[in-house]
Amino acid sequence: MEKLTREDLYSLEKYAEIRLEFRARVIDHKKNRNVPIGPHATLYFEDRLTIQYQIQEMLRIERIFEPDGIKEELDVYNPLIPDGSNWKATFMIEYEDPAECKLALAEMIGIERSVQIMVGGYDPIFPIANEDLERETEEKTSSVHFLRFEFPRETANAAKEGAAISVAIDHPAYRYQSDVLPESTRASLVADLD
């Protein structure tokens, strides 16, 4: 999948004009790219459109229009766009009650390495987690992680040919498996693979 360049982005003025329409398009697109795993964990799979939206929003909020500032945002977010052999996702652990969340995060150290994608009868794919920076301490893990799932060629081919896909977490403090992904989600994610 092509990385974003400055030419792919809207100016602040143009973005202000089209923001509501663009936002609605991205929200609709994201509906097929979120996979809940149990009651408190979700994978939000990124692609070129979701990352463009993130960059546009950062430029708008921070009022960034200088070339160096735009390049900095592109450098930060472009690595989250899939490369054709992988899926990239924001992994979030979410609890409504902050006290409950704090306790859970203390029990879930290493959870990001326990996420796995299953495609048909192939070996599970475990993520490469948090390549940007460490997101856990000896006391707790973060509620947000960035994961990259590298697909062996045979597994990618099976996914593209319609094999059932599901996601699971196998951590002592949190064990859940998703249902088989609906066709709309499977098709959206498979489009990220060459």
Whether residue 177 is found in the same domain as residue 103: yes
pLDDT digits (tens, 9 = 90+) for 154-171: 999 999 999 999 999 999
Whether residue 162 is found in the same domain as residue 95: yes
> Residue 135 falls within a domain, yes or no?
yes
Whether residue 96 is found in the same domain as residue 180: yes
> Residue 100 falls within a domain, yes or no?
yes
Contact 171, 110 (CB under 8 A): yes
The contacts of residue 102 (CB under 8 Å, 6+ apart) are 140
Q: Which strands sit side by side in the sheet containing 86-93, from one edge to the other?
A: 34-37, 41-46, 86-93, 144-150, 128-129
Whether residue 161 is found in the same domain as residue 109: yes
Q: What was the pLDDT predicted at 190?
A: 96
What SS3 class is residue 143? coil
Contact 102, 140 (CB under 8 A): yes
Whether residue 61 is found in the same domain as residue 108: no
DSSP assigned state of 113: G
Q: What was the pLDDT predicted at 139?
A: 86
> Residue 123 falls within a domain, yes or no?
yes
Look up the CATH number of the domain holding residue 181: 2.60.40
Whether residue 63 is found in the same domain as residue 121: no
Q: Which two tokens stand for residue 7?
A: 């030419």
Whether residue 193 is found in the same domain as residue 178: yes
Whether residue 161 is found in the same domain as residue 94: yes
DSSP assigned state of 136: B
Whether residue 76 is found in the same domain as residue 150: no
> Residue 150 falls within a domain, yes or no?
yes
Whether residue 57 is found in the same domain as residue 107: no
pLDDT digits (tens, 9 = 90+) for 110-154: 999 999 999 999 999 999 998 776 777 788 999 999 999 999 999
> Residue 40 falls within a domain, yes or no?
no
> Residue 56 falls within a domain, yes or no?
yes
How far, in Å, CA of 125 to CA of 129, rounded? 12
Whether residue 130 is found in the same domain as residue 192: yes
> Residue 43 falls within a domain, yes or no?
no
Q: Which residue has the tokens 């092509």?
A: 2
Question: Mean pLDDT in the chain?
Answer: 94
Nearest to 7 by CA among 70, 84, 79, 90: 70
> Residue 42 falls within a domain, yes or no?
no
How far, in Å, CA of 192 to CA of 194, rounded? 7
- Domain count for the chain: 2
| Opening angle at CA 27, ends 63 and 116, nearest 5 | 105
Q: Has this prediction a pTM greater than 0.85? A: yes
Whether residue 71 is found in the same domain as residue 90: no
Residue 183 structural domain? 83-194
Nearest to 9 by CA among 62, 65, 89: 65
Q: What was the pLDDT predicted at 133?
A: 67
| 14, 25, 29, 74, 166 from 18: Cα distances, Å | 6, 11, 16, 20, 36
